[in-house]
Structure 1
Amino acid sequence: MNWEQLLSTKRSRESAGKTRRYKNTDLRSEFEKDYHRIIGSASFRRLQDKTQVFPLDKSDFIRTRLTHSLEVSSFAKSLGQNIGENILEYKKDSSFTPRMKEDICHILQCAGLIHDIGNPPFGHFGEIAIREWFQRNLPRLTYHGKPLDQVLMPQMREDFYHFEGNAQALRLVTKLHFLVDENGMNLTYALLGTILKYPVSSVEVDADSGDVKTKKMGYYLADRQIFEEVEKETGACGCRHPLTFILEAADDIAYKTGDIEDAFVKGFISYSRLLRELKVLQDGYLKNQDGAFQAADKLEEYYRRAFEKGIADPEEYAVKNWIVRVQGFLISCATFGFTSNYREIMSGTYCHDLFYQTFGEKLMDLLGDLANRKVFTSETIYRMEVKEAVILNDLMDQFMRAAIKYDDPSQSLNSIDQRMVYFISNNYKNAYHYHARGKSEVEKLYLRILLVTDYICGMTDSYAKRLYQELKAMI
């Protein structure tokens, strides 16, 4: 892979301004234009009411998908600056230019904003709930008397069994966000390539392969054409785009440190618990490693500083300042992870994340494990997730029942089904009709099932809850 091709400015629909003869007064780069398209979109604004960890939380401190995405965007841009400068300074690539470094920073900034834009309501549990709904219901629901899992082609069926927010993000920005026409936000292929974390279809998923790129599905069968265009244009051709590794590292830093901070504020994790866990890590793994970040010592140092300054809550001061310090350390680790594996990443043979075999690897593992044990598997979260599952299951039941019969001349909608279809956004229905032209009945059925997930994934937490209550006459 080479940077000139990887940083492709091509779009599905090229700008009319490129073909005009008169001087263009818009001095923004193509990637800066992407940024403005994203922040001006309704889909991006809706992230302010989507769960990161704590659904429908009343606190104005706790992270939402929007604030998390802004953090990822910031970390990703910082990593791009560090890595780009390293490539230039140490002459790792003779074709790499300062302008390419600038473009990388803009692409990563945009990618951070949209990396979660396809996720359904209620966080990652929303993905699980929808995935499990399909596993239960595709064999049970029928189309012209035959179970759906037997009617659909294998890849269609596997798309739903492997339902994934990352694949939904590609679908949303390329087809569902109607701005000018059917090309969605019409973003550059370099940016689309960056958000393709898993460049494999649902029938190629292999979580046990040891290669990070096959862990999950990256695109739906319905979106294979745009996937293949992006892969060809950027030269990735089945490999991960190098910037995807950087985006993933930024995401990992943001959510693993952010989850700990939010959990501390909510009372799930105490200062003393965090310190104990860090001491075990430090004494057992980092003690004899020169240059390693002494995480427990640094937390205690911030506590002593707060005590000496007479700060009212030294534990809060220590944890919050420690989080910022850890984020800086992890950015350094990810920078090293990319630059030290540069050749393998650029050849498409690197199989790990950027923290693999760095000083930050064990710390990242600890933060993720601590959040899982003390937050994600707590009774409080479990109770919320059971409620969320009830909401999503009911919405899927009602909308899917109507969608299966919708646009099928051999079936008629009853009065309730007609109203359920009416509720679905016209944007999504227009996209369905556009892409259903000339398709077989099975392909149309597949697109109608996607129509339901498109609509539900576009919902905010509050809207999903409110719509469920209205449909259940709970007002």
Structure 2
Amino acid sequence: MNWKKLLCEKRRRSYTTSAVSSDQRNEFQKDYHRIIGSASFRRLQDKTQVFPLDRGDFVRTRLTHSLEVSSFAKSLGQMIFRYILDHRRDDDISEADIGKICSVLECAGLIHDIGNPPFGHFGEDYVRDWFRRNLPKLELGGKSLDSILTPQMAGDFYHFEGNAQALRLLTKLHFLVDENGMNLTYTLLNTIIKYPVPSTGINKKSGNIKDKKMGYYYADREIFEDIVKSTGAVDCRHPLAFILEAADDIAYKTADIEDAVKKGFMTYSQLVSDLKERYMEKCADEGEREEYIRAVEKLEDYYSQAIKRGISSPEQNAVQRWIIYVQGVLLRCASYGFTNNYDAIMEGSFPKELLAVSHGSTIAYALGDMAYRYVFCSKEIYKLEIAAGEIYEFLLNKLTRAAVLYDTEYESSAIEQRIMRLVSENYIRAYKVSAEGKSEAERLYFRLMLVTDYICGMTDGYARKLYRELSGIE
């Protein structure tokens, strides 16, 4: 791979500008304004990051999380490619390229979660589970739906992914001008494709991070292929995808701990105790061990300073300061992970996450494990997820049964017809463009995609409101 192709400015729909223009923005900076002005981006403010249905004013939403990822990604781009330029690691990189790369990463952080459904990652899990339970049972014309669909079509629902939905939303569903979505640059779109494989290509045992999940749907295979051929990142990740992933990991791993302490899911004492007793042996070498010990000592030092200053909540003050410190450590570690493995990344053969090959590996693991044990496995979160599950079960039952019969020769009930009239006109238009002239199996597939498209476009508040209204709950 080379940066001349990797920084591809191509868009699905070309456009012309006047010969003389005062607009000095590069193409990727233009993407930024398309994103922040979109309704899809604004909806992230009512999609929770970790705490489903929570209405606290402190914890992160998808919007604040995306802003943090955007900031970290841009910072990583500056750190990494300044080093590469200064140390002459790649003669293809210029000063102007660094600006373009940072613009791409800044935009990628904003949109990396834009396709996720309501209620956090729990929503993704529930959609997958619902289709696995119901596709074999639902019928059309006397045949089960799973027998009509091809393996890849069915697999798209069994392995449903917010990552794949983001590509779909950005290239098709944001139907403002035409069927080309936001019409973003191919480099930006390639950067958010963390897993460049279809649902039939998932292989969690391959040892390569790119095969872990699905990155695009059958419905979007043509645009995916056009993107990767244009950038040159064929059968591998775009190099900037590694940086975006690291920025995402740093943002959510540190934020989850800060939010957990703020909301009382874990205490300062539990945090210190776990850091000292549970994870030290995971350090791979002396350098990683020293980095880890410094981080633990820094947390205790911040607490001592807060006590001396007479701060009313020294525990929370210490944790909040420590989170900022750890973010800095992990940013440096991710930068090292990229530059130290630069050749393999550019060859398309690097198989791991950046933090996993750095001295920040144990710190990152500890943060994720503590968040899982104290937050995601708590009774409070289970209760919230059960409530969200009731909403998903109801909406998926109603919408899917109506969509299966929609636009077919089979008669649907008056209620099913009314349900389909609730679906956004944009999604209906996208369905009709995709389904025209297609086979029975493909048309069914696109009608099912219509359901997931509609649900993924909902905010937490809208999904809850629609559930209550259709259930007759006051």
Category of TM-score, reference length = shorter chain = over 0.9
Cα distance in 2 for residues equivalent to 1:69 and 1:304? 33
Alpha-carbon distance, 1:24 to partner: 2.0
Shift of 1:179: 2.0
What is the deviation of 1:358?
A: 1.4
**SS of the residue 2:356 aligns to:** coil
For 1:387 and 1:136, locate their aligned partners in 2 and report how far apart those are by CA, in whole Å. 19
Residue in 1 that maps onto 2:416: 417
Q: Is the 8 A contact 2:279 2:366 kept in 1?
A: no
Taking the aligned partners of 2:290 and 2:259, their CA distance within structure 1 comes to: 29
Percent identity (aligned): 58
In 1: Cα distance, 2:180 partner to 2:306 partner: 53
Q: Using the alignment, how far apart are the partners of 2:279 and 2:117 within structure 1?
A: 38
Query: Over aligned residue pairs, what C-alpha RMSD do you find?
Result: 1.2
How far apart are the structure 1 equivalents of 2:26 and 2:282?
A: 46
**In the alignment, what sits opposite 2:338?**
338
Q: Describe the shift of the 1:318–1:417 C-alpha distance in structure 2 as closer, same or farther (beyond 3 A).
A: same
Q: Which residue of 1 aligns with 2:451?
A: 452
Quick one: structure 1 residues 116 and 283, their matched pair in 2 at CA, closer, same or farther if it must change by over 3 Å?
Answer: closer
Note if contact 2:330-2:360 (Cα within 8 Å) is conserved in structure 1. yes
1:378 aligned partner: 378
For residues 347-406 of structure 1, what are the alpha-carbon distances to aligned partners after superposition, in whole Å with 9 as ceiling and x for unaligned?
000000001231110111111110101100111111111111111011011011110111
Question: 164, 168, 193: which one pairs with 2:165?
Answer: 168
How far apart are residue 457 of structure 1 and its match?
Answer: 0.5
Structure 1 partner of 2:390: 390
Shift of 1:280: 2.4
In the other structure, the counterpart of 2:209 is 212
Does structure 1 retain, via aligned residues, the 8 Å contact 2:53–2:388? no
Match of 1:64 among 61, 66, 70: 61
Deviation at 1:469, TM superposition (A): 0.7
What CA distance in whole angstroms lies between the structure 2 residues aligned with 1:160 and 1:312?
Answer: 50
Among 103, 114, 125, the residue aligned to 1:117: 114
Q: CA deviation at 1:432?
A: 0.6
**SS of residue matched to 2:250:** helix
Structure 2 residue 274 is the aligned partner of structure 1 residue 277: yes
**Deviations 1:83-123 (Å, cap 9, x if unpaired)?**
11011011110111011111110000000000000000000
Note if contact 1:48-1:65 (Cα within 8 Å) is conserved in structure 2: yes
Distance 2:98 2:459 in 1: 35
* Aligned equivalents of 1:29, 1:298: Cα separation in 2: 41
Q: Which residue of structure 1 aligns with residue 471 of structure 2?
A: 472
Q: Deviations over 1:128-181 (max 9, x none)?
A: 000000000000000111000100011101111110100000000000001211
Q: Distance in 2 between matches of 1:288 and 1:368?
A: 22
Output one character per residue of 1:286-337: Cα deviation in whole Å (capped at 9) or x when no partner.
6954752412100011011111112111111100000000000000000000
Contact 1:299 1:318 (8 Å CA) reproduced: yes
* 8 Å contact from structure 1 (residues 282, 296) kept in 2: no
Structure 2 CA distance, aligned partners of 1:380 and 1:455?
Answer: 28
> For residues 142 and 73 of structure 1, what CA distance do their matches in structure 2 show?
44
Shift of 1:282: 7.1
Aligned match of 1:400: 400
Tell me if 1:101 matches 2:117.
no
Q: Secondary structure at the match of 1:160?
A: helix
The residue number in structure 2 matching 1:25 is 22
Deviation at 1:346, TM superposition (A): 0.3
Matched, 1:144 2:141: yes
Contact map agreement 1:88 1:97 (CA 8 A) in 2: yes
User: Could you state the TM-score of these two structures normalised by the residue count of structure 1?
Assistant: 0.97
Distance 1:201 1:116 in 2: 19
Identify the range of structure 1 (359-368 vs 308-317) with the bigger mean alpha-carbon deviation. 308-317
The one of 225, 230, 235 equivalent to 1:233 is 230
- Deviations along 1:251-310, whole A, 9 cap, x unmatched? 000000000000001100100000011112675456954752412100011011111112
Structure 1 contact 202–216 (Cα < 8 Å) conserved: yes
Match of 2:186 in 1: 189
Q: Residue 278 of structure 1 contacts residue 295 of structure 1 at CA under 8 Å; is this kept in 2?
A: no
* 1:304 equivalent in structure 2: 304
Secondary structure of 2:105 counterpart: helix
When residues 124 and 282 of structure 1 are mapped into structure 2, their CA distance, relative to the original with a 3 A threshold, is: closer
> How far did 1:16 drift?
2.1
Amino acid at match of 2:441: V
**How many residue pairs get matched?**
471
**2:77 counterpart residue number:** 80
Residue type of the alignment partner of 1:149: D
Amino acid at match of 1:328: G
* Contact persistence 1:282–1:295 (CA under 8 A): no
CA gap 1:288/1:159 in 2 versus in 1, 3 angstroms: closer
Instruction: Please show how residues 355-374 of structure 1 align to structure 2 within 5 Å.
Output: 355-374=355-374
How do 1:37-56 and structure 2 match up within 5 A? 37-56=34-53
Cα distance in structure 1, aligned partners of 2:192 and 2:220 = 14
The one-letter code of the counterpart of 1:270 is T
User: CA 1:288/1:13 → structure 2, altered by over 3 Å: closer, same or farther?
Assistant: closer
Deviations 1:440-471 (CA, angstroms, capped at 9, x unpaired): 12111100100000000100001101101111
1: CA distance, partners of 2:431 / 2:448:
10
Aligned residue for 1:428? 427
The 2-side partners of 1:257 and 1:325 are apart by: 10
Q: Specify the code of the residue in structure 1 equivalent to 2:74.
A: K
User: Which runs of 5 or more residues in structure 2 are unaligned?
Assistant: none
* Structure 1 residue aligned with 2:462: 463
- Give the match's secondary structure for 2:216: coil
Which is further off, 355-364 or 460-469?
355-364
1:265 aligns with 2:262: yes
Contact 1:197/1:213 (CA < 8 Å) preserved in 2? yes
Residue in structure 1 matched with residue 219 of structure 2 by the alignment:
222
